[in-house]
Amino acid sequence: MKDRIRSNIEKFGRHVYCVAGGESPRFLYSIGLSVKTGFEIVLAGQVQIPSDAGAALINTMAKSLESGKSVKKLSVEFRKFGRFTLGPVHPSWSGRMALGALDYYDRSEIKLMQVLPEPDRATIDIPPMMEPFNPDKHKVWQWLDGNWPYSIPADTSVITNLDALQGYAISELVRWEEGEWEMFSGPGPEVPDDELFRVPLATLLAFDKSLEAALELEVSTGLFREFDDQGKEGPWQAWKRS
């Protein structure tokens, strides 16, 4: 891996490392940029951006920085995903996320800058990395330090929709197979294909502890709940495939 990283840095100026498949949301970060700028770039969460597009966004921002653009003036309009800027990252995150960079440079700490979307495009999987890492406060990212508490595999995923990822309460969920769930805010059949995403089930469980009820469901059964005029959710009710 070090040889591959070194080769990509020599050819392209940097390597972009993607970490996915576990209980934490996917994240990407650069290796090689800090030689020129003093920091690396990390894109954490933002599952609505595919991994290849996330890597391209990091490279686009890196090239602007390498050409002399300052962090304060850097603002990148990227494809259909909106405008992005960079924000500071507390050192406590680097040892949990940028392990490949630490290993490559043989350091115990490295400075990071976080890719940030416009506020109206924020999702629950984006950590406020300017703050010190706190598993009690940053619940979606609490398992960066391990200690997975559930009996299901830590890399179990779920299909959900953009509204749920933007923090709207999930109103219906179904367990189609032993390790296959769907969880939606609003009616699932009405969700457009481009607003469907596969994310770690851990992300939704951490954000809304009441979703733990899904773990006890039998295959081909589900739950739904209704909300009153003030938006307060009612109790879960059983649903079964007819």
Residues 172 and 224 sit within 8 Å (Cβ to Cβ): yes
User: What is the average pLDDT value for the chain, to the nearest integer?
Assistant: 95
pLDDT band, very low/low/confident/very high, at 230 (cuts 50, 70, 90): confident
Distance of alpha carbon 241 from alpha carbon 175, whole angstroms:
10
pLDDT tens for residues 45-84? Answer: 999 999 999 999 999 999 999 999 999 999 999 999 999 9
The set of long-range contacts for 207-213, using a CB threshold of 8 Å and a minimum separation of 24, is: 207/124, 207/139, 207/140, 207/167, 208/169, 208/170, 210/236, 211/170, 211/173, 211/183
Residue 12 has a pLDDT of 93
Residue 51 has a pLDDT of 97
Inform me whether the pLDDT recorded for 231 exceeds 90: no
The whole-model pTM stands at: 0.94
Distance of alpha carbon 236 from alpha carbon 242, whole angstroms:
19
